[in-house]
Amino acid sequence: MQTETRTTVDTISGPDGQLVTVLRFSGDISSSSREPVLGAWQNVNGTGPVLLDFSKVDYINSSGIALIIQMLMEADKTGRKVAAFGLTPHFQKVFTMVGIAKYAGLFKDEPTAVASL
């Protein structure tokens, strides 16, 4: 049974004091996650870097990956820097295979991702 996708938005300070938006996802990410994923992205203000927190995501199917790619392509068009963290080793491999790593750095945890900015 699929778990509903939830997204919370936090703001933290980056290494140089700049504001960094963190989209924290939880549950499963699939075709029914359009609003929690893309809706959250569209509500991110400013032009600063964004972190994607997948540490509480249980499952991502191919439709969910397509939503993430769409979000990252929009970030790329505006030159916005994006980093992701909290992925299981399996999903790190999948993200790399489908080319997501070209659009977002993939890191094991939040401190490492923040330091990359």
Question: CA–CA distance from 9 to each of 16, 22, 80, 92, 117 (Å)?
Answer: 20, 6, 17, 22, 18
User: Which is nearest to 104 in space by CA: 41, 61, 39, 46?
Assistant: 41
**Cβ–Cβ contacts within 10 Å for residue 5, how many?**
22
**Domain 6-115: assigned CATH number:** 3.30.750.24
Locate the domains of the chain by residue range. Answer: 6-115
Segment 87-104, tens digit of pLDDT: 999 999 999 999 999 999
Segment 10-20, tens digit of pLDDT: 999 988 888 99
Q: What's the farthest any 2 CA atoms get from each other in the chain?
A: 43
Q: What is the distance between the alpha carbons of residues 39 and 74, in angstroms, rounded to a whole number? A: 13
